[in-house]
Chain A
């Protein structure tokens, strides 16, 4: 039950993109085509789950026993960067088709603040191993959901007559604002 609450809270109610503003760069950058958005979202979800696992292990098995929490940021970001590199190499060796689909997006994920934000937040909330795993999965799926909705709207938008100064980033930001407003409707779903 507790896991279900974490899942719904991280994926819908407190959506990473629309209420924590994590991962805005890919959200604005790759949300122009639905197909790209799906690939990017799934790649990010995959890395998020792995990162949630690995950073939990590092924090609880290395940093806390040796009293080194001030090394958190440095160690987390190195782990995430190498994890992304490793995933890229692994996918290239095992599944070239998947690599072609995700390839160019993988390096971008390192600088996606959603990943580091996820790691830091699960430390802050003192989640257990299973809880941070679920949290990572939910946050990733929520990110994918937001990206896909946005991409769908932007595909339609290409045909719409938008005033000249609003073209590009401004209209995307305003739509994101309206989406955030819509997602606020889920706030009553979970209390606390």
Chain B
């Protein structure tokens, strides 16, 4: 029974990052990389993976040493831990995937100040033991990667004017320019708000009738 409960909560911690508390679409965290690197699906995906790596490692470490960190200097300590893992990720990308590293440019080092990572460290990892912190970070990271992949795919399809080489049409140049990033994300969030509101209405409707 007890293990069952633990499992269920862990599963809940994992899935909340995917949809209900999706970092990009619902919490609006980590917007800078989201908008900047999603000119193509592969760029968005690799940025998502790099961020997930840093998020998972730093959340686990922070939660493991959370009792050793004095609360006055906790933010500074978190930032140092995060910056260390970002350096690791950056050097790894530079050594093995030089093209992607060049395309992402200064946005790999900027993972340090991605508010998603510091936000999870402060709101979750500093209060939970390593295992839930690990699962929470993994869920959030995958949710973030998913959002970046979706945004990157949409912008790539419209910006290059082909759907994976199957259908081709006049490319919308604006979609790969900065303006396209803002507009696409705006419409995506509006769509998700719309879906959320219409499901909420359906849930509320029978309750009102009973009353």
Contact = CB atoms under 8 A, between A and B. Distances in A.
Contacts of A74: 80, 83-84, 87
A32 B119 CA distance: 23
A21 B181 contact: yes
A106 interface: no
Nearest to B119: A111
A19 interface: yes
Interface in A32-84: 70-74, 77-78, 81-82
Interface in B80-134: 80, 83-84, 86-87, 90-91, 106, 109-110, 112-115, 118
B28 interface: yes
A113 B118 CA distance: 13
A90 to B, nearest CB: 18
Contacts of B112: 73, 77, 116
Interface in B31-82: 31-33, 35-36, 75-76, 79-80
Nearest to A166: B190
Contacts of A28: 28, 31
Contacts of B191: 165
Given A113-B113, A177-B183, A169 B75 contact: no
Given A28-B28, A165-B194, A173-B185, A178 B179 contact: yes
A25 B27 CA distance: 11
Contact of B113 (A111, A121, A124, A166): A111
A164 interface: yes
Chain B contact residues: helix, strand, loop or mixed: helix
Interface in B179-198: 179-183, 185-187, 189-191, 193-194, 197
Given A73-B112, A116-B110, A170 B83 contact: no
Interface residues of A, number: 45
B171 interface: no
Contacts of B190: 163, 165-166, 170-171
Contacts of B83: 73-74, 77-78
Interface string A108-149: 001111011100110010000000000000000000000000
B6 interface: no
A15 to B, nearest CB: 9
Contacts of B193: 164-167, 170
A20 interface: yes
Contacts of A21: 31-33, 35-36, 178, 181
A116 B109 contact: yes
B106 A120 contact: yes
A181 interface: yes
B172 to A, nearest CB: 12
Interface string B138-165: 0000000000000000000000000000
A173 B36 CA distance: 13
A176 interface: yes
A124 B187 CA distance: 34
Contact of A120 (B75, B109, B118): B109
Given A20-B36, A115-B113, A174-B187, 10 more contacts: A21-B35, A24-B35, A111-B118, A116-B112, A116-B113, A164-B194, A167-B193, A174-B183, A180-B179, A184-B179
20 contacts: A24-B35, A28-B31, A73-B90, A73-B109, A111-B113, A111-B118, A112-B113, A113-B32, A121-B106, A166-B190, A166-B193, A167-B193, A170-B189, A171-B190, A172-B186, A173-B185, A177-B180, A181-B174, A181-B177, A184-B177
